[in-house]
Amino acid sequence: MMPPSPKSTLLRSCDRCHALKEKCQQPQGAVACARCDRLGFECLNRRPTKKSGRPSRFAKLKQSTASSPLSDASEGDSGKDNKALYAVNPASIGRPVIPRCLPSVNNLTSADHRLVQQMLLSDSGADYFLLGPSFAQNHIELLVSHFVTSQSVLKDAFLAVACTLQEQSDVINTESTTIRSGYIHACSALKQLREYQVQSKHGVSECLALGAMILSFAHCSTSTDAPAIASRTLALIKEPYETKTDFSHEDLVFMSCIILPEIFECLIHGSVPTVRYRPVKGSEKHVDRYIGLFSPLLPHLYDICELSNAMSCGDNQDMCEIISALELIDQQITAWRPDIPLDFTARFTAVEVSHMLCQVQVMRLGCSLIIHRLKFPFGLNNNPAVALAMSILTQLDLTRAATNKRILSTSIPLVAACFELQTASDRKMWHARLPELIGYSPGFAGDLQNLISSFWKARDAVDCLSWSNVGHVMALTRDLDT
């Protein structure tokens, strides 16, 4: 039999595109396909060429016997294959290496393995949760490492996210069984979180990864349990997080995406978050994959929640001290400027830079707006609040229009700004536009729309409404409607 011609070899999909079941686009005369070239992989085509004709029975039997994961021969072959799977471009040396395929793991069916691999190694998974593609390489490498080393804990959480991402994919026609499977895996992952016990530094990182993946499922689905999931996760890591100081960025990489949903819930309901965010030592120039440059504002948000809670529970004698503390925080936030790395514009794309600067601006304005409403209830001193609100909405709208991409991690300032809208026309316009501005899924945006509509009903029903009582008044309004 004649060997395959060079032309037929070139027309085959590369190994990575073949493993992901994605179209391999190979431009004329190029040494790498479009996907490998964009992601910095060496475009390899080393899988055996399929022989023409029907294989013999003996060949099938021999192949099935040799493929046993416990055989010494398969271990040797897999070692050779892994070198090819982790091969990268020389230009990418010095950066974390992303595996070309997810390594084989025990207790995982081929269908589940393929599902998780597609979530981890395709572009859509990273685009859904990260600020941009510049963060994807480190993020995927970290997820693969967590999945391989902590499969027994993280398997169901990963599969839940993989199922819901597949459900929302435009390319794959998802069956209802996949949707049900996602919720079944999410329930199992929640059970893991309820029963989890943090016993080491690795346990903190593993617990945060588990909570972050369940939160990712909640953001992509119709679940409204994100704050409860975040609170449970943070309660588990609270003691070591507050007492130990030797954590690295890799240990706490999911901290920002977990702490924000709880802060949002606490701001609405006047409660105190589980933990106060503490920057990692040497993190002055750190750029977070979820919240970019505004992590120094997280401790201020905790303090605002604490003062809001004190305002709702305290008496009039404490008000002077609370107002003074709020004014001090407002001054610190107004004077704060992000510590931008020298290579900021070289490391990140123009869209990523625009989104991170937008995050900084609207979060600063959002904090000032909430502080203003804690000092002056809705209905009093409205002009400064309306000016802050319109600045937030305009900044988000312009950034969205310029980049054609939703801005992540901006729910707090967006909701605070929408609370200030008073005319029916403004409310209708921004309520309809909200899904275009906020990240994640339509269900996530729908929850925010329902929250804002509920607040508008509460505000219209009373003459004067303090921010510290927003959640309580909204609950009373809902009870009256029912």
Tell me the CA distances in angstroms from 122 to 38, 98, 340, one per residue in order: 12, 11, 30
Question: Does residue 311 contact residue 370 with C-beta atoms inside 8 Å?
Answer: no
Name the one residue in this structure whose structure tokens are 């839940």.
160
Mean pLDDT by 10 residues, the chain (482 residues): 42 76 77 74 76 53 40 38 37 40 65 84 75 91 89 93 77 60 93 94 95 93 86 97 89 95 96 94 85 96 96 78 95 95 94 97 98 95 97 98 94 98 97 91 90 94 88 78 62
The tally of CA atoms less than 13 A away on the side-chain side of residue 70 is 0
What is the rounded CA–CA span in Å between residue 206 and residue 154? Answer: 8
Residue 458 CA to residue 480 CA, distance in Å, equals 11
Query: What pLDDT is attached to residue 51?
Result: 62
Q: What is the pLDDT of residue 177?
A: 67
Going through 334-377 in order, the beta strands assigned E by DSSP cover none
The pLDDT value recorded for residue 443 is: 85
Query: What are the φ/ψ torsions at residue 330 (nearest 5 degrees)?
Result: -60, -40
The DSSP secondary structure of 408-437, one letter per residue, reads: SS-HHHHHHHHHT--SHHHHHHHHHHHHHH
Phi, psi for residue 454 in degrees, rounded to 5: -65, -40
Q: Specify whether the CB–CB gap between 153 and 196 falls below 8 A.
A: yes
- Cα angle value 367/370/373 (rounded, 5°): 150
Question: In the beta sheet, which residues pair with residue 438?
Answer: 407
CA 229/CA 187 separation, integer angstroms:
12
Q: What gap in Å lies between CA 262 and CA 274, rounded to an integer?
A: 8
> Directed axis angle between helix 298-313 and helix 319-335, to 10°?
160
Residue 84 and residue 15 in contact, taking contact as beta carbons nearer than 8 Å? yes
Give the model's pLDDT for residue 481. Answer: 65
CA angle 183/185/188 to nearest 5° reads 110
DSSP three-state, residue 41: strand
d(CA 86, CA 102): 10
Q: Which tokens belong to 367?
A: 């904090």
Q: Quote the CA–CA distance of 21 and 99 in Å, as a whole number.
A: 16
Distance in angstroms (rounded) separating the CA atoms of residues 226 and 106: 30
- The token pair at 282 is 């040497």
From the list 259, 154, 242, the residue with the least C-alpha distance to 196 is 154
What is the model's pLDDT at position 124? 66
Burial 111-148 (b: 16+ CB within 10 A, else e): ebebbbbbbbbbeebbebbbbbbbbbbbbbbbbbebbe
